[in-house]
Amino acid sequence: MEDKFISFQDYTFQYRAQSEPTLKHINLDIKKGERIVIIGASGSGKSTIAHSLNGLIPFSYPGESTGTLTICGKEVKTLSIFELSQYVGTVLQDTDGQFIGMTVLEDIAFSMENNCVPQDEMIQKTREEAVKVQILEKLDASPHQLSGGQKQRVSLAGILVNNVPILLFDEPLANLDPYAGKKSIELIDQIQKQTDTTVILIEHRLEDALHMGADRIILMEDGAIIADEPPSVLFASEKLKEAGIREPLYITALKYGGCMLEPSMKLEKIQDLLLEEEQKKQMRQWFFYRKKEKKEEEKQVILSVEDIHFGYTEEKENLSHISFTVKEGEMISIVGKNGAGK
């Protein structure tokens, strides 16, 4: 990995319409091929980092900056937005705003058309990238008619045709259900391994983002970086909780079970966890105690639903034979893919 492939040095940025800086004295170096996840509460400065990298600052969002930001050894403020797009490819949260072509094929090929790539070469490259992102069968479809996950794949393919060294994802899971989100992260992971690109993922859904296998997590608060650590180191601390960010549920469960967390336990993925026999015993005791405690409690039913049917129109039922009860004090989760009826 190359040191300082991307480098923020004492970088501060203030939007023209605001009275205070949104980013404050950012110092951050990212190496070539690294996988970086940036997290933080709303307003922490995550998106402003993204806008600084992809040229939306200052070309779409004017303001004042101090310090330096360099990409591939070039200072960003000296580059045009076209020159910057040769280094950084962005998949936006609202993928509909990125589409240019009437069909998926036209959209993926758009930048190659601008560069006057011969048609045979352009079609071949478009098909190659469509295969890579698993969207080949949709080349003749309108991108606006696709599912959220498919739209994201089209946007990604349109970037990959340019062979950019940096892929930037701005909350790619925001509009996806859990299954589609997992598939999206797995695809990003696969693409990164194939191309050795630098991947920067800005996301609220931290546990889902970890399917990618992050090298580091950058935790932001109030425009500043408050942690820059490998996942296992960060999860062994209380920094996420203190910043108001939800930890992965398995980390919370380990803490509830009384386990003392150490980075050596490989905390970055639940399937890789290394627990001592005593810790496994602790977790079993906690689990069965909670299970027994719940069984012994007899709570009053406060909501009862029996055989409910509902449809927004007469032609289609959105809910069929819905029956359940909710007892006092229960915490209920309702899950399902988009359109399931939640």
Please tell me whether residues 209 and 291 are part of one structural domain.
Answer: no
In a domain, 1, yes or no: no
pLDDT of residue 296: 52
Please tell me whether residues 72 and 200 are part of one structural domain.
Answer: yes
Please tell me whether residues 12 and 48 are part of one structural domain.
Answer: yes
In a domain, 71, yes or no: yes
This prediction's pTM? 0.81
**Domain span at 262:** 249-296
pLDDT of residue 210: 87
In a domain, 156, yes or no: yes
Please tell me whether residues 220 and 260 are part of one structural domain.
Answer: no
Please tell me whether residues 45 and 109 are part of one structural domain.
Answer: yes
Q: What is the CATH number of the domain that holds 39?
A: 3.40.50.300
Give the chain's end-to-end CA distance (angstroms, integer).
45
Please tell me whether residues 125 and 274 are part of one structural domain.
Answer: no
Please give the radius of gyration of the chain, using alpha carbons only, rounded to the nearest integer.
23
Domain boundary among 205, 224, 242: 242
pLDDT, one tens digit per residue, over 7-38 is: 999 999 999 999 999 999 999 999 999 999 99
pLDDT of residue 1: 47
Please tell me whether residues 292 and 308 are part of one structural domain.
Answer: no
In a domain, 339, yes or no: no
pLDDT of residue 3: 67
pLDDT of residue 47: 92
Element (H, E) at 85: helix 81-85
Q: Are strands 63-71 and 6-15 parallel, antiparallel or unpaired?
A: antiparallel
Contact 7, 32 (CB under 8 A): no
Tally of domains in the chain: 3
> Residue length, the chain?
342
Which residue is listed with tokens 């009862």? 304
Please tell me whether residues 152 and 264 are part of one structural domain.
Answer: no
Domain boundary among 221, 242, 263: 242
In a domain, 338, yes or no: no
Report the alpha-carbon distance of residue 122 to residue 115 in Å, rounded: 10
Please tell me whether residues 306 and 289 are part of one structural domain.
Answer: no
* Phi, psi for residue 245 in degrees, rounded to 5: -105, 130
Nearest to residue 94, comparing CAs of 158, 172, 181, 161?
172
Contact 165, 198 (CB under 8 A): yes
- Enumerate residue ranges in the chain where pLDDT < 70: 1-3, 290-297
Please tell me whether residues 286 and 322 are part of one structural domain.
Answer: no
Positive/negative CA dihedral, 57, 59, 65, 67: positive
Domain boundary among 242, 263, 280: 242
In a domain, 341, yes or no: no
Please tell me whether residues 104 and 212 are part of one structural domain.
Answer: yes
Tokens matching residue 81: 């937005």
Please tell me whether residues 179 and 310 are part of one structural domain.
Answer: no
In a domain, 342, yes or no: no
Sheet holding 224-229, edge to edge: 88-91, 166-170, 198-202, 35-40, 216-221, 224-229
pLDDT of residue 2: 58
In a domain, 14, yes or no: yes
